Chain A
Amino acid sequence: MKKNFRPFTLKLGILLLLLLLWNCGLSFFHGWVTLWWLGLLVNFLLIVGIAELIGKMIPSFYAPLYRRSLAVSFPLLLFLAWELLVRGGVLSPDWFPPPTRIVQALWELITKFDEFSKTSLLGRPWLWPGALWGGRPETVGELLAESHLYATLMRVFVGFFLGAIPGILLGMVMGVSPTIRTMIDATLSAFYVLPKIAIFPIMMLIFPDPFGEGPKIAVVAISVFFLVTINTMVGVRDIEPVYLEAGRNYGARGVQLFYHVILPGALPVVFAGLRLALGTALIVIIAVEFVRAKTGVGFLTFYYWEILSPEKMYAGLVVVMVLGVLLTAGLKKVEQWFMPWRRP
């Protein structure tokens, strides 16, 4: 054990020294501006070597903690490199505003009420307690109505439910009945490959208020519907035949067979479909908001491109990312609640 320990520390020392020399040397000879990509690459390789050496030295008890800290610290390091490259004049702040300024812009978006468009990102939550205790709860509704995040969230939620519920029903019917499946499958597949955003103009044509919420929610619902239908159908068809045999042999017929065998048997694939559909719903709603909306996170991001405010554009993207992560995590929770038998 002791024999192995020394060479590790020695190697680690050499690598750390190389890292220091490389960065100081490159800075001293002003190499960063032209060779910044090489600088980053060598730094990355040296850091990988150091991380691996530390990983071998660390007691196995701390290994999971160490791995998690690697996963967290790498993006932080990336942000640091980004920040330094912009400050050093290598990357243009017009295209890649430094992370600190993006955070600043995000904070500004959260706290500021835009007088011109009468909107805010979150709907000024610091005013809610006053409105609630001050006896004017309807103000909270008004405040939410000005929120970009709330607008996007509502469109995704309503569209998702309006698409997912009929999708699950039709998918189940198609999975169970070969006749209905043969009749509908080809048509469904044809619609499935159509980029759903392409039907947005049709929706605007159909709805009485082309610029209202109707067409936006409809596009989300339709995109969700096709994905969920096809996945549910596959889920029903992929149930192990032996489960159906067992169900029938033990006396389950019709509704009982459906409730006790087909529905739970298809659920894992149905949820895989719902996860896909949620991702697609986010893509579609952001795209729709780019094109035609006066509220929403997508609109916000596009708006700040139009008025050339890159750090706020990036802030909008950060909000979209956070939204995606939170919604996916929420669906995961619902999934665990519905399928306790799959919990590890």
Chain B
Amino acid sequence: MDRIKIRAHNISKVFSSNGKGTVVALRDFSLEVREGEFLCIVGPSGCGKSSFLRILAGLMSPSSGTLEIQPAEDPLKPVTSMVFQEYAVFPWKTVLENVAFGLQMRGIPRTERLSIAKVWIERVGLSKFIHAYPHQLSGGMKQRVGIARALANDPEILLMDEPLGALDAQTRTVLQEEILRIWEERRKTVVYVTHSIEEAVLLGDRVVLMTAHPGTRKAVFPVPLPRPRDLRVTATAEFGELTYTIWEALRGEVLAAMESMGKEG
């Protein structure tokens, strides 16, 4: 439980914007994530949290700094699988083909990967839509496909980039409960980026608060709420106190971010 899974040290990411100078997305960002930990990252827009996730996913390389990820015992297992804010469910594939996609890319035989995919589709409650195309699904259902695709791939680390950000409040609550329920079964290492403090406290073991322009680590809040959790935890006093404490720390950052946006505009 206490083994360090991800060790990021002094990571910086600088984007050059087409000859018009540079933008520092991340500066000297350090973070350790334990194995089996559900870590949430919260911060204002433009704090580089998505960039950090993409660096973890190997989709982007850092400008400087070191990143260590403990290798898996099974070398065939993928290191990371990502759930995207825009779902990124392929419109040209059926639900079944989408969920089996990672397994297919890893060369797992057809019958095996389809049966694994079916199990996960059932677990996210989409059995009726197994042969449907994404355009026939609602936003919440599409993101269920996105989550099932990541979990079916059975990665070492699950990365979630504001997965519920584009959904309405009620669908979001339902999916938060589902994510909690599924995570409690396996306790996979998760790095979860979100805008919502409540979501971070409800789901996470620790909440990392980031500042914007450039993105740095501001504070880390352990979440002492007992596991297994469900939505009832949001009614407790500890939940309310912790979310308010984090909000107090974040408020100044959000105001600063809004002001700097106003200046740029």
Which residues of A come within 8 Å of B, CB atoms?
A: 240, 242-243, 245-246, 248-252, 256, 260-261, 264-265, 267, 339-342
Contact = CB atoms under 8 A, between A and B. Distances in A.
B71 interface: no
Contacts of A340: 133
Which interface residue of A240, A243, A261 has the most chain B CB atoms within 10 A?
A: A243
A76 to B, nearest CB: 37
Interface string B76-107: 00101110101010111110000001100110
Chain B interface residue bracket vs A: 20 to 34
A293 B91 CA distance: 46
A263 to B, nearest CB: 9
Interface of B: 54, 57-59, 78, 80-82, 84, 86, 88, 90-94, 101-102, 105-106, 133-135, 149, 153
7 contacts: A243-B88, A249-B58, A250-B105, A252-B105, A260-B101, A261-B90, A264-B92
A246 B92 contact: no
Given A242-B84, A249-B80, 11 more contacts: A240-B86, A242-B88, A243-B90, A246-B88, A249-B57, A249-B59, A250-B105, A251-B102, A252-B105, A341-B92, A341-B94
A246 B93 CA distance: 13
A246 B105 contact: no
Majority DSSP secondary structure for residues of A touching B: helix
Given A256-B105, A342-B135, A250 B149 contact: yes
Given A250-B101, A252-B105, A339 B92 contact: yes
A328 B84 CA distance: 38
A246 B106 contact: no
B92 A265 contact: yes
A162 B97 CA distance: 34
A249 B102 CA distance: 9
B191 to A, nearest CB: 13
A251 B105 contact: yes
A256 B107 CA distance: 11
A232 B78 CA distance: 33
A250 B102 contact: yes
A246 B80 contact: no
A262 to B, nearest CB: 11
